[in-house]
Structure 1
Amino acid sequence: MRTINGDDVTEAVAGCLAALRPAVDRDWTAVTAGRLEWDCHTTAVHLADDLVAYASNLAARAQDAYVPYELKPDEGTGNADLLQIIEATGGLLAAVVRTAPPGARAYHSYPFGSADREGFAAMGIAETLLHTHDMTQGLGLPYEPPADLAESVLTWLFPHVQPGTAPWPTLLWATGRGELSGRAPVTEWRWRNNLVIPAERITLTGLRPAAAHDLRLGGDGGFDWLGGEPYAGTREAAGYLVKAYEAGVHRPEFGVFVLVRHEDGRALGGIGFHGAPDEEGRVEIGYDLVEEARGQGYATEALRALTEWALAREDVDLALLTIEHGNTASRHVAERAGFTPATVEEERTARDEHDMGTGLGLYLRRA
């Protein structure tokens, strides 16, 4: 698992061009692109249109829709010219990704309405790898992208998909383009950009498996941390996220979020769920802050925002916190965020049925 950037877009596009050039003299309109309903010419135009659309949205910071235009090659454009268009549009996306500031987001429809610069890079790479595969399948050409590019697409856009033994076959399977031993065929699929939840002074930024892996190993996860590094609890939570991803049980919207301050883009701490809602519609939340950010209301702001987001969902009825009896600061955070102490009976049930430790108090907030 690694970071993703404009250089990766360039590498993916270069691989596409190299794979397709041997067939530029053939009639691409007469050849279906793999399992798609489009011919190879239409697929190439679609790829270029995706690349320039992603570049345009990110460059313009479009918020509510795609920038209102589409790519339309000149009439009579040949295959060699189509490859030049793909090279040009891929170059535009790579350049925009490289120059976009950290945290910049723009519109993308699924699933949460926006993507950041890494998300747009990953989507451009995904479109390039997959549609190059489609076209080479139809044209009978060999093609297999570098494994690290396929792995990047999986870890940045498919956090809900359990990794396989090899990333490229896993990506093909996850997008309905191949079979994977021991797994049912995929007939419908979507990728997932990370969720962000805005608050007054901070943004709760969903952590992806690749970033969580880096944090677990002692890195910064791609964030500029106040004080130089995250608190130990954030690294521990990142490790649990990676384990859930590797086990195929990670639900990205119920993962870990990094608190990013609006005024300077610094990361202040982490907050997240201990897992997806249980059969009773319960979710448990945990959080921490770097020492330099404590006592300024950021934890309360983050807890309130995440709890309200969760309780607005149909599958969540109850949010809970477990707090050590002597942790007065966390108790005050919980109360300011709308949580109330559980009853004696509720605490007894939590200990008997949910293994809550005896040194912890239970705080609840209901929908």
Structure 2
Amino acid sequence: MDTRTARLSLHPIDELEGRRIRDRAPGTDDTWAADYPFDGDLAAIGGFLRATEQNGDQRPFGYYQIRRQSDGLAVGGIGFKGRPDDDVVEIGYGLAPSARGNGYATEALMTVMQIAAAHGVTTIRADTDLDNVASQRTLAKAGFAQVGADSELYYFEAQLAR
């Protein structure tokens, strides 16, 4: 079942949908922005498909296609990088270039945080490339704090209320 926000619909995909996205082969019911999926989505879908093949259905800790409610177009994705481990889970997200700059990532991220909290997660982790300022701002707006860095990435965490 989709989770709706003020402007978005987060659609938990299944394995068949994941394969269509990976193959850039929309089905008759798929409506995608012209620049969806982009390379970041393809990497995330690959991880989702591997996890699904190894461990079965990942929901609610799977991958969610981000769709705009205004036109129904898929414009990105957000998802968990596996199931929780000791109430900690890692997330990743991305938007097609045509959808960036509208606050969609923050809206989707805050919704996924609520899903995680409802299923007992207490800590969410994320990372960004050093030069991905937009993603760093998104994480900060959603309540994440930077907790570390190395030569390639900044690391962030958010603590969730139970």
Q: Distance in 2 between matches of 1:246 and 1:309?
A: 23
Residue 20 of structure 2 is matched in structure 1 by: 214
- Note if 1:306 corresponds to 2:112: yes
Q: Distance in 1 between matches of 2:55 and 2:144?
A: 32
Secondary structure at the aligned position of 2:3 is classed as: strand
* Letter of the 2:34 counterpart: G
Pairwise CA RMSD: 1.7
Secondary structure at the aligned position of 1:323 is classed as: strand
| 1:276 Cα deviation after fit | 0.3
Alignment length, in residue pairs?
A: 159
| 1:254 Cα deviation after fit | 0.7
TM-score (normalizing by structure 2): 0.90
Residue 291 of structure 1 is matched in structure 2 by: 97
| 1:247 Cα deviation after fit | 1.8
Secondary structure at the aligned position of 1:341 is classed as: strand
Residue 257 of structure 1 is matched in structure 2 by: 64
Secondary structure at the aligned position of 2:60 is classed as: helix
8 Å CA contact retained: 1:226, 1:266 = yes
Residue 267 of structure 1 is matched in structure 2 by: 74
Correspondences of 1:49-88 after superposition (within 5 Å): none
Higher RCO, 1 vs 2 (CA within 8 Å, ≥6 residues apart) = 2
* Letter of the 1:361 counterpart: Y
Q: Which structure carries more strand by proportion?
A: 2
Residue 340 of structure 1 is matched in structure 2 by: 145
Secondary structure at the aligned position of 2:19 is classed as: helix
Residue 246 of structure 1 is matched in structure 2 by: 53
Q: Distance in 1 between matches of 2:131 and 2:40?
A: 18
| 1:245 Cα deviation after fit | 2.1
Q: Which residue of the other structure, out of 109, 112, 129, is the alignment partner of 1:324?
A: 129
Runs of 4+ in 1 over 6 A off after TM superposition: none
Correspondences of 1:224-239 after superposition (within 5 Å): 224-239=31-46
8 Å CA contact retained: 2:35, 2:98 = no
Unaligned runs of 5+ in 1: 1-194, 349-356
Q: Distance in 1 between matches of 2:36 and 2:153?
A: 28
TM-score (normalizing by structure 1): 0.41
Q: Distance in 2 between matches of 1:252 and 1:308?
A: 14
8 Å CA contact retained: 1:206, 1:252 = yes
Secondary structure at the aligned position of 1:304 is classed as: helix
Residue 359 of structure 1 is matched in structure 2 by: 152
Q: Which structure carries more helix by proportion?
A: 1
Correspondences of 1:118-157 after superposition (within 5 Å): none
8 Å CA contact retained: 1:311, 1:319 = no
Q: Distance in 1 between matches of 2:101 and 2:122?
A: 30
